Amino acid sequence: MERTHVVAAIIVDDLDTPTRVLGARRVRPERLAGRWEFPGGKVEPGESSHAALVRELNEELAVTVLVGDELRGPHDDGWHVTDRHAMRLWFAVLTSPEPVPLTEHDELRWLDATTLGDVPWLDGDLEIVEALRPMLG
């Protein structure tokens, strides 16, 4: 079965020497509400990953970004975050003012290597968080 493709951003303070990453708390659906994630969403038919990422970040956080390297996952289609979704993530920096949670999130928080584990990430994000932690100086 082909998984639905999701793209998300690891928004950091600096692409070369990242120390902080932006976590976002979901408001829906009910079963995922209150869990933290990397902002992003599903790629639409015919849409490139990059275009989907830029669109989702603008829709969700009202930001523009500069996209950097991908945090490659263990599979060709990225990280298998659920039985039905494969997610690819890219590092990114903001090229606009501070993000605001619009409709998908109710809280945003900058997290560093020490505080990264303080929020309840979506289950599928836990292995990504572990891969990311040593990359935050």
Ligand X SMILES: Nc1nc2c([nH]c(=O)n2[C@H]2C[C@H](O)[C@@H](COP(=O)(O)OP(=O)(O)OP(=O)(O)O)O2)c(=O)[nH]1
Q: Binder to ligand X among 18, 54, 105, 125 (CB under 6 A)?
A: 125
- The closest residue (CB) to ligand X is 41
CB 13 within 8 A of CB 19: yes
Asked if residue 131 binds ligand X (CB under 6 A), the reply is no
What residue spans of the chain are helical by DSSP H? 49-61, 126-132
Q: How far is the CB of 125 from ligand X (least distance, A)?
A: 5
Q: How far is the CB of 109 from ligand X (least distance, A)?
A: 14
| Span of 64-72, 91-99, 120-128, 129-137 interacting with ligand X by CB under 6 A | 120-128
Q: How far is the CB of 71 from ligand X (least distance, A)?
A: 11
Tokens in use for 67? 């996209």
Give the distance from CA 14 to its chain's centroid.
16
Query: What helix, strand, coil percent values describe the chain, rounded to 5?
Result: 25, 35, 40
Provide φ and ψ at 83, rounded to 5°.
-60, -20
| Span of 12-20, 70-78, 93-101, 117-125 interacting with ligand X by CB under 6 A | 117-125
